[in-house]
A and B are shown apart, each in its own frame.
Chain A
Amino acid sequence: MASLITCPHCGVRPKEEFAIRGDASRGRPEPMDSDEAWHDYVYVRANPRGRTQEHWHHVAGCRRFLVVERDTATHEVYSVVDAAEFALRATR
């Protein structure tokens, strides 16, 4: 359940220790990309019902940014990885 998050650094921790930033699935546009690209990045959300990837910041723990993959309808958590690890995987 999303009430408990298994931080790869700190172990199982309650959700109150985290600040949730939101959608982690899209990359930040380049500075000179179009206004539309920036508008979509800043304001538009896919808002899926089901699987989603989000940035969770472990503010009251290791202070690392994590990527939590979970289900927005069942609240099941599938995986939690460090955001750096997530980015590496994406570029690999």
Chain B
Amino acid sequence: MRYSAFSIVRNALSGNLNWKPQWRQPQPKSHYDVIIIGGGGHGLSTAYYLAKEFGVKNVAVLEKGYLGSGNVGRNTTIVRSNYMLPGNEPFYEFSMKLWEGLEQDLNYNVMLSQRGVIMLYHSDAQRDAYVRRGNAMWMEGVAAELIEREQLKKMIPFLNYDHARYPILGGLLQRRAGTARHDAVAWGYARGADRHGVDIIEHCEVTGIRRENGVVTGVETTKGFIGCGKLALAAAGNSSRVGEMADLKLPLESHVLQAFVTEGLKPCIDHVIVYGGGHFYISQSDKGGLVFGAEIDGYSSYAQRGNLATAEHVMEEGVTMIPGLSRVRVLRAWGGVMDMSMDGSPIIDRTSIDNLYLNCGWCYGGFKATPASGYCFAHLIARNDTHPVARALRLDRFARGYAVDEAGAGPQPNLH
């Protein structure tokens, strides 16, 4: 399906009944060179780059629900590369650069909006921590700006600057960061992969991984057995469940993260604003709704819905930061299942099984990683070699003592 101003007019005149699907609905073949489990952002981008950049075209993506039914369609769409640790920052900056060229690459409007992400600080100590983070970013060649209180007041006048417990003293700004339309990212990658010959097979749940002589030979699915040369796991919140089918022991715990959207308002929030007194963050969608969320619910969960106590807590944080929010009505709330890793950082690696590859541990931050994750995973699958920017994201880093722990919280997933 191609789009143009002309096609919009033509289809409008015929009652919008003649739009064509953006990707095929093929029946599975009996064998693929590579099967990817999970039709979320990462599975789809992996398939796209495998076919486009690495010449591996006999590929299937198996998705148990409909395409985009997982976290890729549930997240709050923030993309940024303002990480501190040397193991993370080059990876996320690589992703940011791919984002900046993604619409041209896919010829698809993913509505990337580089509106700037600002993280607020509320104490001198927190300012020091953000100065350090900003400097760490500069060392990786990524621009960061410290915005002091008076300047910030001009930029974002409606914040609660003089709160007794959490006064707002300033913020760390990454101007190139922002948001992208999450569904469009899934659809764009799906269409691109499909055009390069990838079979995207929806409503096809993997129920078992068949192994012979220590290597994977294929997968059992609700559509029958499908053979493969290599198997790649990109099942996000269900990684432990899928990994178990191949006896993988993973450093993951699944947790639910909620998000909320309000009624549509006129443009009022220009940036993505992140509260420093908690995890609260907010942005305004192009439709006008305020999109916000905060921390995970606290207990491990596979339910794609959260609890009311966390919803209340999120609202309280929001109103602490922007008192005017109390007047806005919330329209919808939902949850997604996060694959929380033991250090809060992701895993892109081979496994103890030669032709089985692993992509997981995205926690609440994997949307921004979608392009780089797919690119690095495709690199690994095609060449059996880790992409340079993903070197620190190996599965054995815990055993070797090289955890990549941005929050410094230790192996306690509900604290990351």
* A, B from the same assembly: yes
Listed in ascending order, the chain A residues whose CB lies under 8 Å from chain B are 1-3, 14-16, 20-22, 35-36, 39-40, 42-47, 49, 52, 54, 70, 72-75
Residues A16 and B300 in contact, CB atoms below 8 Å apart: no
Report if A42-B299 is in contact (Cβ < 8 Å); known contacts: A47-B240, A47-B250, A72-B254.
no
Report if A52-B398 is in contact (Cβ < 8 Å); known contacts: A3-B307, A44-B251, A47-B240.
no
Report if A73-B303 is in contact (Cβ < 8 Å); known contacts: A3-B308, A16-B309, A22-B414.
yes
* Identity of the chain B residue whose Cβ is nearest the Cβ of A21 in the assembled complex: B412
Q: Roughly how many angstroms separate A53 CA and B64 CA in the complex, as a whole number?
A: 28
Q: B216 at interface (Cβ–Cβ under 8 A)?
A: no
Q: Roughly how many angstroms separate A45 CA and B250 CA in the complex, as a whole number?
A: 6
Contacting residue for A22 out of B301, B398, B413, CB 8 A: B413
Residues B299 and A47 in contact, CB atoms below 8 Å apart: no
Residues A22 and B300 in contact, CB atoms below 8 Å apart: yes
Which B residues between 209 and 258 are near A, CB-CB below 8 angstroms?
Answer: 238, 240-241, 249-254
In the complex, how many residue pairs between chain A and chain B have their CB atoms under 8 Å apart? 74
Residues B303 and A45 in contact, CB atoms below 8 Å apart: no
Residues A20 and B414 in contact, CB atoms below 8 Å apart: yes
Q: Roughly how many angstroms separate A79 CA and B412 CA in the complex, as a whole number?
A: 23
Contacting residue for A3 out of B238, B240, B309, CB 8 A: B309
Q: B342 at interface (Cβ–Cβ under 8 A)?
A: yes
Q: Chain B contact residues (Cβ within 8 angstroms of A): what range?
A: 20 to 34
Residues B301 and A75 in contact, CB atoms below 8 Å apart: yes
Report if A1-B302 is in contact (Cβ < 8 Å); known contacts: A45-B251, A72-B254.
no
Name A's interface SS.
Answer: mixed
Q: Which residues of B contact A36 (CB under 8 A)?
A: 399
Contacting residue for B254 out of A2, A20, A47, A70, CB 8 A: A47
Which B residues between 378 and 416 are near A, CB-CB below 8 angstroms?
Answer: 398-399, 411-414
Q: Which residues of B contact A1 (CB under 8 A)?
A: 307
Q: Roughly how many angstroms separate A52 CA and B254 CA in the complex, as a whole number?
A: 12
Q: Which residues of B contact A72 (CB under 8 A)?
A: 254, 299-303
5 intermolecular pairs with C-beta atoms under 8 Å apart: A3-B308, A3-B309, A35-B399, A73-B303, A74-B303
Q: Roughly how many angstroms separate A60 CA and B308 CA in the complex, as a whole number?
A: 19
* Identity of the chain B residue whose Cβ is nearest the Cβ of A52 in the assembled complex: B300
Residues A44 and B250 in contact, CB atoms below 8 Å apart: yes
Residues B298 and A20 in contact, CB atoms below 8 Å apart: yes
